Structure 1
Amino acid sequence: MLELMEWLAERGVTTVLKVDGDRMTEHRKAWMVIVSGGPLGDDSFFRADLTTADGCLDSLLAHLKGKGLSPFK
């Protein structure tokens, strides 16, 4: 995930990956990923709240692919 975040930052995309301790102890969707800006567009904003970091990564990669931006070209 850190390599992907760096790759996105080099392209002007702001990325946040967060885990919420309160949500974790309550067995709720504790992981969150947010991306915006850069080649995703000025009005772009993507957020996913999921139960695992891997889920956030998968969701983010699918979103990026849909926007025509992928580190796997």
Structure 2
Amino acid sequence: MDVSRVMASLAEQGVTVLLKVAAERLRDATRPWTFVASGTPFRDDLLVRTDAVSLEACLEVCLPRLRELGLVIPD
């Protein structure tokens, strides 16, 4: 999966995406990666968010949810 292409596609659809890896959580071996998506396509200030052990794990949780909300996610 081309993550850069996915993020660009989301941005083109009005979604702001934040990807974060927290050093302190990485050291503690807890879920250091965070994915947060927000923006115009969502109503009622909805956020799609997860904390996970890897970037891939974040995407596995959040991308299906974004598809359910009607967004187009490239392969």
* Fold agreement, TM-score > 0.5: yes
Q: What's 2:66 paired with?
A: 64
Give 1:29's aligned residue.
31
Gaps of 5+ in 1: none
How far off is 1:42 after superposition? 5.0
Higher relative contact order at CA 8 Å, sep ≥6: structure 1 or structure 2?
2
Report the CA distance between 1:39 and its aligned residue.
1.4
Paired position in structure 2 for 1:44: 46
Percent sequence identity over aligned pairs:
35
TM-score (norm 2): 0.85
Moved over 2 A (4+): none
Aligned residues: 72
- The CA RMSD measured in Å over matched residues stands at 1.3
Q: TM-score when scaled to structure 1?
A: 0.87
Match of 1:15 in 2: 17
| Counterpart Cα distance in 2 of 1:69 and 1:12 | 10
Amino acid at match of 2:60: D
